[in-house]
Structure 1
Amino acid sequence: MPTTRRDFLKTSVLASSLLFVPRFLHALDRQGLAALRDAGGRRLVVVQLGGGNDGLNTVIPYQNDLYYKARPTLGIRPQSGILTLNDELGFHPAMTRLKGMFDQGQLAVLNSVGYPNPDRSHFRSMDIWQSASAADQYVTTGWLGRYLDSSCATCPQPYNGLEVDDTLSLAMKGAARKGLALKNPAKFHQVTQNHFLAQVSKETGPAGGSEMDYLYKTLAETASSADYLYQTSKVYKSAITYPNTEFGKNLKTTAELINSGVDSRVFYVSLTGFDTHVRQQEQQGKLLGDLSEGLSSFAEDLQKSGEFQNTLVLVFSEFGRRVSQNASNGTDHGTANNVLLLGGGLRRPGVGNAAPDLLNLDQGDLRHQLDFRSIYATVLRDWLGADDQAILGSQFERLSELV
């Protein structure tokens, strides 16, 4: 017997399923399929380190006495296995595989990245990084969402930007186009196969632009996207060993989507747990090991399929930590931090700018040398071929010949 709209609204099973359906999806575009405006086949993968990673113990100024004076027990000594990058800086000992990528010319380090008038709130600073706003601006769209708005105006597919997570970050939300959040293509597809959801998504729905019409179209688009991602993702199954962690699994899913040929230009993955106020050494070391193992496995996966040359990975955290350790052998919220760029197409790998200046601090915090929006502008214009000024709302100096 056909399902009526009243049945649709009242059926608890369907209502439960709808909790998993992203509400932000837009109506099906009647203009037909359209790929993202030409980015030369290139894609961007953003890795967010949630909690405020301690940059000074990630890229260590191992020749600077001020570093060890500020961190008498937390500072990492050369004899602990620092992985030297140059005569001033070295990676944390847990980052062995990323050091290998650095040596192969596949990794760039940018120091003291931040923004004027920094905010030490996790939520506010993350919003600033994700929206690419100034500290005194409040913006409801993200820089990658606005990239989708700009470069995918006629795309009907929400999967042109994918976040491998349960929820969508502000970074992926545009005014007209938004990405799609999912943890696993098979599970996402299974949700849309609920009997009532599947049936309703195939119905035309009422005319006239009503809320019900919007809902019917949203369901149809969700079901279509889920089916596309599920069917396409079966093309490639990774044989590479990833860390047996949530982050490792999410990177593996990302690699399988890319290697299967999913038509997406931006991907977003997170690794959390970096708020190290207490007993930092063990916690950060474990996380940086997971980051290093995960990203190098990801790179190996894409290299095997020939996709690494067209992929750029951007690793950031919402802020760094204070220069001095605290009384709990940890670090408190700080300001400027390092950013890592990985890829097979880097034009200027290595250490990209000067080491952090520990002599010229701002009330115990690093002063930023490089505005993070300059990195975004470089990635948008030079890597993705997009209009960086229109997307960021202002002109920021790009980093010459980086990507």
Structure 2
Amino acid sequence: MPTSRRDFLKTSVLASSLLFVPKFLHALDRQGLQSLADANGRRLVVVQLGGGNDGLNTVVPFRNDLYYKARPTLGLREQSGVLPLEKDLGFNPNMTRLKELYDQGHVAVLNSVGYPNPDRSHFRSMDIWQSGSASDEYLSTGWLGRYLDSSCPTCQVPYNGLEVDDTLSLAMKGDLRKGLALKNPEKFHQITRNRFIAQVSGEKPVGAVSELDYLYKTLAETSSSADYLYQTSKVYKSSVAYPTTEFGRNLQTTAELINSGINTRVFYVSLTGFDTHVRQQEQQGKLLGDLSNGLASFAEDLQKAGNFNDTLVMVFSEFGRRVTQNASNGTDHGTANNVLLLGGGLRQRGILNDAPDLANLLDGDLRHQLDFRSLYATVLHDWLQADDKAILGREFERLKGLV
């Protein structure tokens, strides 16, 4: 092997990143296709709200005096446009399109979701949510990555997962298999069509050099994956109007891949900017408008193509905010938060549990009603038809009749 080529494989950023590309996105693997069919073709789309979204100003307890006592200027009032739901709760005024989906029976709200001994660090709490660990447990794999590991251990090509982003989250990393991060199938395909990469991926190593063999194999499989994604993505181009934001574009890419018939089970999309210590109403309102409009366009896109009933969207953030506003018309890091579910296959809809108990706080923060791993267990077992106990490492009580 020429020195220049060896040096290229050692130093190229692309080659380095491709070492972490899984084997599961092979273009023509029939086992993978059969595995997808075995679970009735259902797919999960996880939307991460990075920064710690303020749940109390997302799903607003607009008839609770304690809410306004804690937030004399930041509290949202019904006359300011809060969108009434039920149980004296309402959506943020910027979530009008999501409210329409709620009224159609396509949205469920879970209040006060969290975990015991909560951590207020962005990084640690996000690791806990993404790995599915306890607060005193440190895992190097994610709950969706372990799903990819366990779903088809005997298949050469297991179920696949895509993160529509530049980097791969911990949530999508397993021991054996990992999701694939890409923003745009066409651009990803162009990168792998680089003349030198194409040449290397098409060659076969000579001799029993395992590391080089692995590099060759990874590059070859990645090129095949990129070609499959690009060719498949051309089947469907959306005619739905999405928000002209990065989040809107990423949801559009996700919808186009789903509607093109791509053999992918799990998608992961993020919307960041929710660390609202200062001037929260303007900042959060804009982000929630982007979330609401993006999800509504996404739902419309899938409905038109007949894929909405087989898709479940789960929206979460690493923690909520403190109940009491701070001196800068914002909120500081809190604990439990709401989780939104969206889809045509929901069996339970609306507000699914009690509103946050503002009279029974823990150190000024909400106490969690529901362990987030119970929700994970429900999604894994009842929606994705996977072994939730094996993936999460222990048994959690599942929510009955949710999906």
TM-score surpassing 0.5? yes
Partner residue in 1 for 2:338: 338
* 2:323 equivalent to 1:323: yes
Local SS of the residue matching 1:48: strand
* 2:20 equivalent to 1:24: yes
Partner residue in 2 for 1:305: 305
**One-letter amino acid of the counterpart of residue 129, structure 1:** W
Partner residue in 2 for 1:7: 4
Equivalence map 1:123-162=2 (5 Å): 123-157=123-157, 160-162=160-162
- The Cα shift of 1:177 comes to 0.9
**One-letter amino acid of the counterpart of residue 169, structure 1:** S
Local SS of the residue matching 1:397: coil
Local SS of the residue matching 1:320: coil
Structure 1 runs (4+) greater than 3 angstroms displaced: 10-14, 26-33, 154-159, 206-209
Partner residue in 1 for 2:244: 244
Kept in 2: contact 1:29–1:155 (CA 8 A):
no
Kept in 2: contact 1:158–1:178 (CA 8 A):
no
**1:313-371 deviation line (CA, Å, top 9, x unaligned):** 00000000000000010000000000000000000010000000000000100000000
- The Cα shift of 1:10 comes to 3.3
Partner residue in 1 for 2:172: 172
- The Cα shift of 1:29 comes to 10
TM-score norm. by structure 2 comes to 0.95
**1:127-176 deviation line (CA, Å, top 9, x unaligned):** 00000000000000100011111113345558810000000000000111
Local SS of the residue matching 1:112: strand
**One-letter amino acid of the counterpart of residue 208, structure 2:** G
Partner residue in 2 for 1:235: 235
Structure 2: how far apart are the matches of 1:121 and 1:110? 23
Structure 1: how far apart are the matches of 2:56 and 2:22? 43
**One-letter amino acid of the counterpart of residue 22, structure 1:** L
Structure 2: how far apart are the matches of 1:360 and 1:87? 18
Unpaired stretches in structure 1, ≥5 consecutive residues: none
Structure 2: how far apart are the matches of 1:277 and 1:255? 33
- The Cα shift of 1:208 comes to 3.2
Relative to 1, partners in 2 of residues 1:153 and 1:223: Cα closer, same or farther, differing over 3 Å? Answer: same
Partner residue in 2 for 1:285: 285
Kept in 2: contact 1:8–1:14 (CA 8 A):
no
Tell me how large the CA RMSD over aligned residues is. 1.9
Partner residue in 2 for 1:275: 275
**One-letter amino acid of the counterpart of residue 306, structure 2:** G
**1:264-307 deviation line (CA, Å, top 9, x unaligned):** 00000000000000010100000000000000000000000000
Relative to 1, partners in 2 of residues 1:48 and 1:207: Cα closer, same or farther, differing over 3 Å? Answer: farther
Matched residues, number: 399
Relative to 1, partners in 2 of residues 1:62 and 1:176: Cα closer, same or farther, differing over 3 Å? Answer: same
**One-letter amino acid of the counterpart of residue 331, structure 1:** T
**One-letter amino acid of the counterpart of residue 7, structure 1:** S
Relative to 1, partners in 2 of residues 1:9 and 1:135: Cα closer, same or farther, differing over 3 Å? Answer: same
TM-score norm. by structure 1 comes to 0.95
Deviates more, 1:283-292 or 1:200-209: 200-209
Relative to 1, partners in 2 of residues 1:389 and 1:159: Cα closer, same or farther, differing over 3 Å? Answer: closer
Structure 2: how far apart are the matches of 1:10 and 1:387? 43
- The Cα shift of 1:80 comes to 0.5
Q: Percent identity?
A: 73
**One-letter amino acid of the counterpart of residue 280, structure 1:** Q
- The Cα shift of 1:192 comes to 0.3
Structure 2: how far apart are the matches of 1:59 and 1:75? 12
Partner residue in 2 for 1:60: 60
Partner residue in 2 for 1:219: 219
Structure 2: how far apart are the matches of 1:209 and 1:236? 42
